[in-house]
Structure 1
Amino acid sequence: MNLYIRYFDKETLVNNVEQAIDFIGSIPEIGMNPELEADIREYADSNVYYPKRYKIRPRVYFIIIKTEAATMIDFKEKRAVHQVSPVEKRELTSPSIVRLSESALGWYEGDILFKRVMQVPGTGKFQYFDTRFVADCKAESGIDCYNRIVEYLRSRVDDRSQFPSAKGKNFKFHFLGQCK
């Protein structure tokens, strides 16, 4: 695996982490330090293929990209693009998103944080308030639990209330057990 590094008009394609650290260390504006060096080594050893961006100062970054290109020309012409296998796609998918669609009929505890529209006493104006709602419901999966909770709330709160995505951080669920 090779590393492509770019800082403004300075760029290189290196074969290993040591060469990458030497190149970055040769640019005085970046200021190589032990934390940056450790982070670059960790990125190079990981199985993550997305580009890594490092902030130097406000609106100034340098990037590192993992590539299988052997030469700069191959990299520039995108001849050695890394193909993600189905196994890697599964590993990169968030475990909570995978769990969301797993089918298991039973009781679920769903916890949702949504924006509820309520009238402010005294002013008569409406305002959004963060509202947490926790419920136990019988469902077939995590997404079914989400849908049941949102359906219940839509019939009981103002239509302008906003509900988060089931895949986001504002919805959590736990499988409590199978139903009889």
Structure 2
Amino acid sequence: MNLYLRYFDKETLVHDVDDAIDFLASIQEIGMNPDLEADIRDYVASDVYYPKRYKIRPRVYFIIIKTEAPTMLDFKQKKALRSNPANVSNPDQRDFVPTVVSKLAEQRSGWYEGSLDFKRVVMIPGTCKHEYRDTHFVAACKANSGLDCYNRIVEYLKERVDNRSQFPSSKGKNFKFTYLGLWK
């Protein structure tokens, strides 16, 4: 396990924690002390692979990244990304993690249940003024994808609510959909 360290334009790739501490001690602004040294040793010994950021003063940090890259060039070219043990046969192939956009666009004809939280314009009877109210709407509809479900729900609501109502993005947290199954 190697360590990449960077503080502004000063950077290095070291092979053990002692070299990392020597590098940081050589930078006077960091102010290496026993507490910082102990924290760095704990981080290196842990199973955590996330980069670690240390605050020097407000808005000034140095970072440490665990890597398996043998050289700085390999690290810069991202040739030593941690591979998934299940994917050892082909390390260049990474697992596909579905995103919100890819789930929305996935073509799958059938019944969908979509729920939408939107700002609906309603009139207050006593004052005849209008206000926005948070409204939750759930519908089951025939659609070809999650995005098609969203479009059908919004189209339906636009015909029935005040045109000043505000609808969220299909990619946001205010729209959720579930595939219910094929239609007959």
TM-score higher than 0.5 here?
A: yes
**8 Å contact kept, 2:123–2:130:** yes
Is the alpha carbon distance of 1:3 and 1:38 closer, same or farther for their aligned partners in structure 2, counting shifts above 3 Å?
A: closer
- Whole-Å Cα distance in 2 between the matches of residues 30 and 133 of structure 1? 54
Pick the aligned partner of 1:162 from 163, 166, 173. Answer: 166
Q: What letter matches 2:151 in structure 1?
A: N
Whether 2:49 is the aligned partner of 1:43: answer yes
Superposition TM-score, scaled by structure 2 size: 0.62
* 1:114 CA drift (Å): 1.7
Deviations, residues 80-116 of structure 1 (Å, cap 9, x unaligned): 333799843733x42x443322222211100111222
Distance 2:119 2:52 in 1: 33
So what's the TM-score if we normalise by structure 1? 0.63
Q: Distance in 2 between matches of 1:29 and 1:116?
A: 58
Partner Cα distance (1:121, 1:20) in 2: 73
Which of structures 1 and 2 has the bigger CA Rg?
Answer: 2
Query: Structure 1 residue 99 and structure 2 residue 99: aligned?
Result: no
Distance 1:39 1:113 in 2: 46
Higher mean alpha-carbon deviation, 96-105 vs 122-131, is at 122-131
Query: Is the CA contact 1:5–1:13 (under 8 Å) kept in the aligned structure 2?
Result: yes
Partners of 1:119 and 1:24 in 2: CA distance = 67
Q: Distance in 1 between matches of 2:35 and 2:9?
A: 14
Find runs of 4+ consecutive structure 1 residues off by over 6 angstroms: 23-26, 83-86
Gaps of 5+ in 2: 26-31, 82-90
> Percent of counterpart pairs with the same letter?
49
Q: Which runs of 5+ in 1 are unaligned?
A: 45-51
Is this contact kept in 2: 1:105–1:139, CA < 8 A? yes
CA distance in 2, matches of 1:128, 1:20: 60
1:88 and 2:94 correspond: yes
Structure 2 match to 1:63: 63
Q: CA RMSD of the aligned region, Å?
A: 4.2
| CA distance, structure 2, for counterparts of residue 13 and residue 146 of structure 1 | 49
Letter in 2 for 1:81: Q
Shift of 1:70: 2.3
Amino acid at match of 1:88: R
Counterpart of 2:71, as a letter, is A
Q: How many residues align?
A: 164
One-letter code aligned to 2:49: Y
1:112 to 110, 116, 133: 116
- Read off the aligned partner of 2:63 and give its amino acid letter: I
- Per-residue deviation, 1:161: 2.3
Preserved CA contact (<8 Å) 2:49 2:65: no
